[in-house]
Chain A
């Protein structure tokens, strides 16, 4: 059963690995964007800390965010949108496997491959940068393990949320519009636009419990030690609970949409 989904995952992974130029330009963008953000927020931070976050922690947070940008971003998957709008999706129906799971596996494969192609060069450069601009080591080994768990949760969560854009595409037949709605909500609330630790505490108190911050905020805060080990474990548990809820909800919505789907033309 799981073998076929893993096969789909592998296929997308392999496909994505072929696009080296795309990865190189991605690395360059992420690198300059990271520097820009660090300069920008350093200039805004009057004192050395903001909400208990030091400048060193902030730079690490930003570099990690840039290094793992490909998995934080909301994308449906390379072909899903066109597949739905041009009707190629009909081939998904004639396979003896679950349609949501197929798409989910595809998306995860693509995201993981593009992340793996990009993260290492950015991490290496960020570590080698001069003081005040560089990426620091994790606070402890346990923190690093939790960071890693958080990354896996983040990858799974980001695509569980992306799947709502797939649902909207089914309803509206507009790939760009659907991605636009889901990604603008998700990017703002997940800390992709403004790092969450820089927001007022009252807002953070709400966002900490919404599913979005698990995409990118939590793993990086675990790394820099801004969220402690015990607290982190509780958050990870909340995150995985959200993941299950969102996947079940996504499955339900997509199944109802599929029942009403009409595939037109030859």
Chain B
């Protein structure tokens, strides 16, 4: 498969005024303003293949949104080249954006005061979507997202989840080749989150839309993506399949245990006690210990009387934290 997005050596510097603190500094800053350069992206290189769902992850301030904004033609990088679907996003913006759809989870692209369908009709005019295609697309979106009840109501009356469904539909009306989703599941309840996820998958399969999504939700990444790009402090730390990373760290488990009675301390060979509060404790296996449920139960039952326990693997934040440590960031 051919790559649809090619990012080569992209750097982005922002010039921000430097503010000193302390006495008279407000006064001083008013007259003499110093600037400092922030390198938001440092030599970022990656490529994404057509039809992929790529998770773009990293902590807050890592440069995720900056990258998305460069890819969608909103920002011009300081240096480097970026070819998306044969075009440079920030040159000939109007031509480029015809083939992309963008959803910023924390912003709205639809009109606030008018029924959602009116917004869709306007988008139809803006993207010059033929009548037939518009009807057909709306039908598909309607079916898979259950929009029919929402379309007649003004956006301001919709709940967050309903709004997100409409935003997603709005970004897909013109059937873009590439869809950028910036935290699409932020603030959604479990049911809506699942619906949104299924929908994203469905669109990817039926229209072969290339999807790039940023998220802080581990389960989004697990459920959707076949490739992740990990960014930290403006640099690409890892790109490849998520399973690779997961397998590397999944050997470390967190075990929450409920005991039948209160113990003064919990100590188990090969495990580290992270938290202990009366009848409850949280343990973690040391890297040297391989976790086996059966062995663990046997081992702990010898020393303590347990009622219940629950095993979880590391969350994305913990994995990221481990990765950062590894990359000395």
- Interface residues in chain A, defined as those with a beta carbon under 8 Å from any beta carbon in chain B: 3-4, 6-8, 10-11, 14-15, 18, 79, 87-88, 90-91, 93-98, 259, 262-263, 265-266
In the complex, what's the smallest C-beta–C-beta distance from A168 to chain B, in angstroms? 19
Contact B74 A94 (CB under 8 A): yes
Contact B95 A96 (CB under 8 A): yes
Choose one: B75, B97, B111, B121; the contact of A95 (CB below 8 Å).
B97
Contact (A93, B73) CB under 8 Å given A8-B122, A266-B182: yes
B98 within 8 A of A: yes
Given contacts A4-B125, A266-B65, 18 further A-B pairs with CB under 8 A are A4-B122, A4-B126, A7-B121, A10-B122, A14-B113, A79-B112, A88-B107, A88-B108, A90-B74, A91-B102, A94-B100, A95-B126, A96-B97, A97-B94, A262-B14, A265-B65, A266-B104, A266-B106
Residues of A contacting B121 in the complex (Cβ-Cβ under 8 angstroms): 7
B209 within 8 A of A: no
- Docked pose: A161 CA to B183 CA in angstroms: 38
Choose one: B72, B95, B126; the contact of A7 (CB below 8 Å).
B126
In the complex, what's the smallest C-beta–C-beta distance from A192 to chain B, in angstroms? 28
- Docked pose: A97 CA to B124 CA in angstroms: 12
- Docked pose: A12 CA to B228 CA in angstroms: 41
- Docked pose: A79 CA to B95 CA in angstroms: 26
Choose one: B75, B98, B102, B111; the contact of A263 (CB below 8 Å).
B75
In the complex, what's the smallest C-beta–C-beta distance from B115 to chain A, in angstroms? 9
In the complex, what's the smallest C-beta–C-beta distance from B142 to chain A, in angstroms? 21
Nearest-neighbor residue (CB-CB) of A79 within chain B: B112
B133 within 8 A of A: no
- Docked pose: A14 CA to B14 CA in angstroms: 40
- Docked pose: A266 CA to B108 CA in angstroms: 13
Those 4 A-B pairs whose CB atoms lie nearest each other, nearest first: A15-B113, A7-B125, A4-B126, A91-B109
- Docked pose: A4 CA to B174 CA in angstroms: 14
Digit string of B66-99 for contact with A (CB within 8 Å is 1, else 0)? Answer: 0001001111100000000000000001110110
Residues of B contacting A14 in the complex (Cβ-Cβ under 8 angstroms): 113-114, 118
Residues of A contacting B73 in the complex (Cβ-Cβ under 8 angstroms): 93-94
- Interface residues in chain B, defined as those with a beta carbon under 8 Å from any beta carbon in chain A: 14, 60, 65, 69, 72-76, 93-95, 97-98, 100, 102, 104, 106-109, 111-114, 118-119, 121-122, 125-128, 182-183
- Docked pose: A3 CA to B126 CA in angstroms: 8
Contact A263 B74 (CB under 8 A): yes
Residues of B contacting A7 in the complex (Cβ-Cβ under 8 angstroms): 121-122, 125-126
Residues of A contacting B65 in the complex (Cβ-Cβ under 8 angstroms): 265-266
- The 17 sampled A-B contact pairs (Cβ below 8 Å) are A3-B128, A4-B125, A4-B128, A7-B122, A10-B122, A11-B111, A11-B114, A14-B113, A15-B112, A90-B74, A91-B104, A93-B74, A93-B93, A94-B73, A96-B94, A96-B97, A266-B65
Contact B104 A90 (CB under 8 A): yes
Contact A94 B114 (CB under 8 A): no
- Docked pose: A263 CA to B68 CA in angstroms: 11
- Docked pose: A245 CA to B183 CA in angstroms: 43
Choose one: A6, A8, A87, A96; the contact of B127 (CB below 8 Å).
A96
Contact A94 B97 (CB under 8 A): yes
Residues of A contacting B95 in the complex (Cβ-Cβ under 8 angstroms): 96
Choose one: B14, B72, B126; the contact of A96 (CB below 8 Å).
B126
Contact A94 B102 (CB under 8 A): yes
Residues of B contacting A97 in the complex (Cβ-Cβ under 8 angstroms): 94, 126
Residues of B contacting A87 in the complex (Cβ-Cβ under 8 angstroms): 107
Residues of B contacting A98 in the complex (Cβ-Cβ under 8 angstroms): 94
Residues of B contacting A4 in the complex (Cβ-Cβ under 8 angstroms): 122, 125-126, 128
Contact (A259, B98) CB under 8 Å given A4-B122, A7-B125: no
- Docked pose: A262 CA to B65 CA in angstroms: 12
Choose one: B69, B111, B183; the contact of A15 (CB below 8 Å).
B111
Residues of A contacting B114 in the complex (Cβ-Cβ under 8 angstroms): 11, 14-15
Residues of A contacting B106 in the complex (Cβ-Cβ under 8 angstroms): 266
Residues of A contacting B60 in the complex (Cβ-Cβ under 8 angstroms): 266
Contact (A266, B113) CB under 8 Å given A87-B107, A96-B97: no
In the complex, what's the smallest C-beta–C-beta distance from A18 to chain B, in angstroms? 6
- Docked pose: A10 CA to B114 CA in angstroms: 11
Nearest-neighbor residue (CB-CB) of A91 within chain B: B109
In the complex, what's the smallest C-beta–C-beta distance from A102 to chain B, in angstroms? 9
In the complex, what's the smallest C-beta–C-beta distance from B53 to chain A, in angstroms? 20
- Docked pose: A144 CA to B61 CA in angstroms: 60
Contact A263 B122 (CB under 8 A): no
- Docked pose: A98 CA to B126 CA in angstroms: 10
Nearest-neighbor residue (CB-CB) of B15 within chain A: A262
